[in-house]
Amino acid sequence: MTRIILFMAIVLFNIASFAASNKLIVVVSEVKGNAFYSLGGKTKVLKEGVHLPASAEIFTEVGSQIAFNDYYDHVFYLSGGAHLIVYPNLVELKEGYLWIKSLSYDPLRGPLKVTTANSLIENKKGEGILSFDSYSGKTQVLSIKGDFDLKNIRQEFQWTQVGDGQFSFIQDEYNKGVPRRATPIGYSSYKKVTSLFSGVEAFDEKKMERSQKLRPTITRTASHSTEDSRSHTSESASKRSIASVSNVDPFEKALQNSKGEVTIIKLRDPEKEKAHEKNLMNFYKNKVTELGKPKPKKKWSPSYSDKSNVKVMVFGSGSSHKKTSPTHEVRKTRSLRMPASIKPAKTNEEVNSYKKKYRTPASIGKMVPTVKNSAFESELVDQYKKQMRHEDEVNQLIDQLKSIDMDYKKEY
């Protein structure tokens, strides 16, 4: 009897698991481009209106986009070049970008869960964009509205909460897999991410509406107790900024205005700037004066206009000196006489007319006889010189022999 009961239990479990696996949980509402789904080892083209059961894998080509809804009040948008697997109230993101919208929350069913290779993301109500890069192993979360709990899938006690207009990521190489502290995202970055989904808009009319009040960022680990975390949250939430100081960016302020209003942001007024510059020029024009031209440098030169009546004594020989006084004449006559041992200096004419004398050897007398060759001797010398010269052919032969000799020495 026990064997029959055990056999029936196994059969019922298999039937229940088979029925659960074949339970339809997703319906495709829109397909742009080419998309496919794989189930039971078979791959088929994904079309609008197709219902998919649990464990179905969905693929999209680059440049494509699909939208599908599950039976738990969730809407999903999958960008091009992405891959995921659907389960009841659970999505496993393998690659790409996924925009999710949670319309309602059922406490019995629990929050929507999205898993990647290294993270677990939970959301009760709201919308956001999730991404996973299999090459770098990086999971990113951008919250447009609502709170998203980003956890490390291997260490769930390491988690952080991502609020409205904030983003965070998990990467094994960054901070040992601890989620990054949630930080606000800029408007340009937000537009870049949302541009990946064509025709998809946020449910909120103000789109990326941000609360400018200080929002606590919760990051918990196992070492912190619940009471400490609650007190830390209450302290950070109780902090209030100064009312007179506004940190609102004008571009973000323009985004928060209600629909239909026009906000004009004037950064510069050219007319006011020109008037201000003109006033400054008039003000400094009276202050600043022209710089004086530099005076030319004077070179010192002695002037003899004022006489000092100092007597100048000139000593030397010559008749070019002028007579200044009788005493000077006496000194001049005295200076003309020189000792007999000193000969007077020669003038330039005597030096130029001086002829150089060459010294001859002592063995040769003063009178060297000049020998003139006879006509016979001179003719003999000329003929002898002519005989010493070779003809052109002989000279060419000599040159060839010399070149051969040089080549021989060069090679050997």
Please write the tens of the pLDDT for every residue from 75-115.
Answer: 999 999 999 999 999 999 999 999 999 999 988 889 999 99
From the number of C-beta atoms within 10 Å of its C-beta (0-12, 13-18, 19+), residue 77 rates as: buried
Higher pLDDT, 256 or 60: 60
Pairing of strands 148-152, 138-145: unpaired
Answer whether residue 252 is part of any domain.
no
Pairing of strands 148-152, 74-78: unpaired
Largest Cα–Cα distance of the chain, in whole Å?
173
- Going by pLDDT thresholds of 50, 70 and 90, the confidence category of residue 247 is low
pLDDT of the residue at 58: 96
Instruction: Flag whether pLDDT at 74 surpasses 90.
Output: yes
Mean predicted confidence (pLDDT) in 57-77? 94
Mean predicted confidence (pLDDT) in 318-346? 57
Distance CA 59, CA 46 (A): 9
Number of C-beta neighbours around residue 34 at 10 A:
15
Answer whether residue 113 is part of any domain.
yes
Tell me which DSSP letter residue 118 carries.
Answer: S
Answer whether residue 373 is part of any domain.
no
Distance CA 156, CA 194 (A): 29
Answer whether residue 63 is part of any domain.
yes
Domain holding 194: CATH number?
Answer: 2.60.120.1440
Domain containing residue 138: 25-233
Please write the tens of the pLDDT for every residue from 226-244.
Answer: 444 444 444 444 444 444 4
Instruction: Flag whether pLDDT at 199 surpasses 60.
Output: yes
- Going by pLDDT thresholds of 50, 70 and 90, the confidence category of residue 325 is low
Q: What is the mean pLDDT of the chain?
A: 75
Instruction: Flag whether pLDDT at 189 surpasses 70.
Output: yes
pLDDT of the residue at 202: 81
pLDDT of the residue at 67: 95
Instruction: List the single range of 59-68, 210-219, 254-263 with lowest mean pLDDT.
Output: 210-219
Higher pLDDT, 364 or 408: 408
Answer whether residue 107 is part of any domain.
yes
pLDDT of the residue at 366: 57
Instruction: Flag whether pLDDT at 336 surpasses 60.
Output: no
Strands (E), 205-358: 219-220
Answer whether residue 132 is part of any domain.
yes
Answer whether residue 288 is part of any domain.
no
pLDDT of the residue at 169: 93
Please write the tens of the pLDDT for every residue from 129-181.
Answer: 999 999 999 999 999 999 999 999 988 888 899 999 899 999 988 888 899 99
Pair of tokens at residue 210? 């941000």
What percent of the chain stands above pLDDT 90?
A: 33
For the chain, report the end-to-end CA distance as a whole number of angstroms: 116
Top-ranked range on mean pLDDT: pick from 48-52, 368-372, 407-411:
48-52
Q: What is the number of structural domains in the chain?
A: 1
Please write the tens of the pLDDT for every residue from 254-270.
Answer: 444 445 556 666 666 77
Answer whether residue 305 is part of any domain.
no
Instruction: Flag whether pLDDT at 207 surpasses 60.
Output: no
